[in-house]
Structure 1
């Protein structure tokens, strides 16, 4: 469904972005309340990393089939079903989770729900929006992910403080219900182009793997999400540790969940601005520069926990800018280089690799934290180094695989 003018589709674009934001109300609830769960359920850092990571494992398990299906059926149908699943998973966590096993189950289901909304939503927009402005519109959509994550941190922290963590997950389920209502009301059906229906079986990704240019962006996305989701999963616990090192006379400190929300919000202009720079100066060059800058910040951040809390919070904001800065440019790159008829399959591989890394990053971070001495400055330092080393892989992949399109 293509439209010739901006006014023809802007309402649908806003609706898709708003539904994404509301549907992500439970996205960061566990991460925002991580210190609470570690204390209440007596979790090790490694066990906490498993619960953080299982969300992305659920995403990873569902995304190849769900997103590949968008080449064959209306992505709106997938979007609606999975938005409903998101509400059910958050409500289930609120009512029934009472330890490690229950948390794993409901967070895995929540991850599956995201698999059927995030990239299918992107597919809806790519069908609505003309190619001339597609990159800019997609940058707003990917930036809406940061807004959703920020609000999830902020709302979860406040609701838990007032009413307890079960209410935080209960309120998140209401966000999914609101997203479902908006999607039913405003997201239009998408006509599947029969001319480009894939001739390969549903889960045959060989045409995607043969597209070296697209795969360069896919690998860069994996490196990007490793750093980003490792940071998202552990930032509240890290800031809580930094707060514990401050002198008693320091006075009131900004809550860690508020700082985490601001870090995510900082990603919105960073992601949009990074995409604009990529349009002007070249995607590979800009993505590589941002990734290397972010790797540098990551490798220093954890070791600086004993500094003034205000400075540590400011450095986390800087890390948010660098970690998010290449997000929209990478996703726009993979959409632009996908082969005709295999856009959904390419997005499926893109998402699978990215969220496989998002699954592993919190696990590895928690394991490195435990091996590095636990809740110590050295432990946090080495854990953040693991993020920096991962994100540095992106520029290498782009240099090796990406070529200018003729």
Structure 2
């Protein structure tokens, strides 16, 4: 009996680890553009509105696509949705590396990237949770959602470092390669999960009326919408903000804004796990509301920090990076 339990634990560990690694890999193209935003302002002669569209269209495509693709996981094995999303991510990165030369072409392939993220992130969580149960599932959720932070951090770091040493297109070639590896991992790691709902029941998942009539569900949806708005706005603009706020204030300290963001996002990774553990102990609503209030406070502090000493600005950004992800797993579990 003990050996069987140990075997199950090892199997769960391999499953969770593999899905987390795959998630990190598919994330490599998400913030590459944001990490090089100061460069693209000059390279493509962008204004702030155009830069905002290129950044925002990604998340707009994600928002629309995720409602459909996650609903389809009630009908289809989430593994299939994930594999399709990984392929879309692969093509979006390849397109950005080979075909993008300005605003409109960037819009097209950033849109594809958002669809790819919608097909991998939440469907990946569904594929993982379908194959787990009990407390293992809850903790796996926190580790999986925190892997979003690792992937984000590496995306910023790779983009910044590549821009310093190689042509900017190289970062997207790397992102495309990572998406291919993620596809192979999930294809080999996950067995097929049979559909038990049937076609008619599965199609009902595309009917959003029961959700819209559920005040509790709509409350958490609004909560997660707010969380994502804050998270993506922060990560889309923070490199450009730091490039502006730290101009002339670093002295002899040579550090790329993208490296600072990499550290901040990485420090925020365990906060998602810690937030979920606190929610399990003290209540989800109390913990989520508390983290959101603190995060809002740090947001105002960061936005008001221009003109302060560089160490203080950097410290505020690093702290904000922790709180902005602290409620992620607690909301989605």
The TM-score by the shorter chain falls in which range? over 0.9
> Do the aligned partners of 1:245 and 1:306 also contact (CA within 8 Å) in 2?
no
Is 1:290 the counterpart of 2:291? The answer is yes
SS in 2 for 1:221: helix
Q: How does 1:9-158 map to 2 (within 5 A)?
A: 9-158=12-161
Q: How does 1:316-331 map to 2 (within 5 A)?
A: 316-331=317-332
Counterpart of 1:8 in structure 2 is: 11
Counterpart of 1:346 in structure 2 is: none
For structure 1, the 5+ residue unaligned runs are 333-406
Counterpart of 1:173 in structure 2 is: 176
Counterpart of 1:276 in structure 2 is: 277
Q: Deviations over 1:65-89 (max 9, x none)?
A: 2111111111111111110111111
Say if 1:319 and 1:212 are closer, same or farther in 2 by CA, change over 3 A.
same
> TM-score, with normalisation over the residues of structure 1?
0.78
> Do the aligned partners of 2:74 and 2:205 also contact (CA within 8 Å) in 1?
no
Say if 1:199 and 1:149 are closer, same or farther in 2 by CA, change over 3 A.
closer
Q: Deviations over 1:40-70 (max 9, x none)?
A: 1111111101000011122123222211111
- Runs of 4+ in structure 1 off by over 4 angstroms are none
SS in 2 for 1:246: coil
Partner Cα separation in structure 1 for residue 36 and residue 203 of structure 2: 44
Measure how far apart 1:201 and its partner are. Answer: 3.5
SS in 2 for 1:158: helix
SS in 2 for 1:25: helix
Measure how far apart 1:9 and its partner are. Answer: 2.1
Say if 1:280 and 1:214 are closer, same or farther in 2 by CA, change over 3 A.
same
> Do the aligned partners of 1:84 and 1:177 also contact (CA within 8 Å) in 2?
yes
For structure 2, the 5+ residue unaligned runs are none
Measure how far apart 1:132 and its partner are. Answer: 2.9
Partner Cα separation in structure 1 for residue 10 and residue 200 of structure 2: 29
Counterpart of 1:235 in structure 2 is: 238
> Do the aligned partners of 1:16 and 1:187 also contact (CA within 8 Å) in 2?
no
Report the count of equivalent residues. 328
